Amino acid sequence: MITNCSNNYAFQKDNIKFKVTANDIKVCLGILLLSGYCSVPRYRIYWETSSDTHNEAVSKAMSRNTFEFFISVRLLKKLKIRLHYCTETIRSNRIEKAPLEEASTLKKKVRGSYSQLKDTSSGITFIRYHDNNIVTVASTLEGAKPIGKARRWSHTEKKRIQIDQHSRIINYNCYMGVDQLDQNISSYRVNVRMKKWYCQMIMFPLNASVNNTWQLYRLAPKGKEDLIDLLSFTRYIVQTYLAKYSIRVAPGPLFPRSRTLNSNLAFSNASKTFLYS
């Protein structure tokens, strides 16, 4: 079922080159099972070649980036045809040799500098921007302008300074999906730690569903009138669930009551022991 759903989803997204087999899924599940009793601080360590961390079983079974998602020019073109607008960071080797300014040259310029190029045939804009590091952005929307401002820490001046920031980066930071989801989840992540490997399959969807519900609430008319943050929304759910679905039990004494001695129980002064008559 997982195999069919994965392939169908890839087909729906026009990724006709993506094919996953039942064996691929079994290997993936096997690695997840392995992580339950052979845990590492970062999952990439499984594929490292260092003698102290290398895991031969994992590295031979599956390459590290087998299921890694890559943004591509072809994908952006498909999205634009379907009127789905997108702004996404893209790897430098996936811009199809677009003659943007080299990262090494741009890094020598002042922070906030950028290089822009637009493909007239597809309408896709590529922007290479100098922030804390060099980042390349591909967008099906307009270009870099208007230029805004962003506050950054300057190591040379030892204070926060303002740098130029183009509109694509501003919108990307504002509307990015997965990064914003991760940030929200990390703020109020379920803090019950269990040793079972599959607990994250329960905990993460729980946190994600609360975040997604909150986002939908903010888009609803009532949410626009009654603005509440994620913490307040989460507390409301907790209070509602505990009040509505809990089985109330009358509280008993903290300690068991002492029982009275049986009338047949006597005390012998001679032996200082309890004797039954």
Concatenated DSSP letters of 171-221: HHHHH-SHHHHHHHHHHS------S-GGGHHHHHHHHHHHHHHHHHHHHSH
Whether 100 and 159 share a structural domain:
yes
Please count the structural domains in the chain.
3
Structure tokens at 47: 């594929």
Give the Cα separation of 277 and 258 in Å (integer). 22
- The whole-number pLDDT of residue 207 equals 83
Residue 261 lies in a domain: no
* Structural domain range at position 6: 2-61
- Specify which residues 276 forms β-bridges with: 265
Residue 70: predicted pLDDT: 58
| Domain end position, chosen among 126, 141, 175 | 175
Last residue within a domain, chosen from 175, 199, 230:
175
| Residue 268 included in any domain | no
The secondary element (H helix, E strand) that includes residue 251 is: none
Length of the chain: 277
- Domain assignment present for residue 251? The answer is no
Looking at the fold, whether 78 and 156 belong to one and the same domain comes out as yes
Within a domain: 253 = no
153 and 185 in a single domain? The answer is no
Regarding whether 90 and 52 lie in a shared domain, the answer is no
Kindly report the pTM of this predicted structure.
0.40
Q: Cα separation of 147 and 137, whole Å?
A: 15
Q: Is residue 50 in some structural domain?
A: yes
In a domain, 67, yes or no: no
Within this chain, do residues 156 and 195 fall inside the same structural domain, yes or no?
A: no
Supply angle C-alpha 93, 126, 171, rounded to 5.
120
In this structure, are 45 and 90 located in the same domain?
Answer: no
200 and 234 in a common domain = yes
Decide if 143 contacts 125 (C-beta within 8 A). Answer: yes
Preceding amide of 221 cis, omega within 30 = no
Do residues 103 and 33 both lie within one domain? Answer: no
**187 and 171 in a common domain:** no
Query: Domain for residue 275, yes or no?
Result: no
Instruction: Give the residues of the chain that fall short of pLDDT 50.
Output: 246-251, 254, 261, 265-277
Q: What is the pLDDT of residue 274?
A: 41
Q: In the block, which residue shows the tokens 């804009």?
A: 125
Cα pseudo-dihedral 53, 58, 59, 63, rounded to 10: -130
User: Is 157 found in the same domain as 99?
Assistant: yes
| Model pLDDT, residue 35 | 64
User: Domain boundary residue among 116, 150, 175?
Assistant: 175
* 170 and 108 part of one domain: yes
Verify that 19 and 107 share a domain, yes or no.
no
Could you tell me if 176 and 129 are in contact, meaning their C-beta atoms sit under 8 angstroms apart? Answer: no
Residues 102, 98: Cα–Cα separation, whole Å: 11
Q: Is residue 270 part of a domain?
A: no
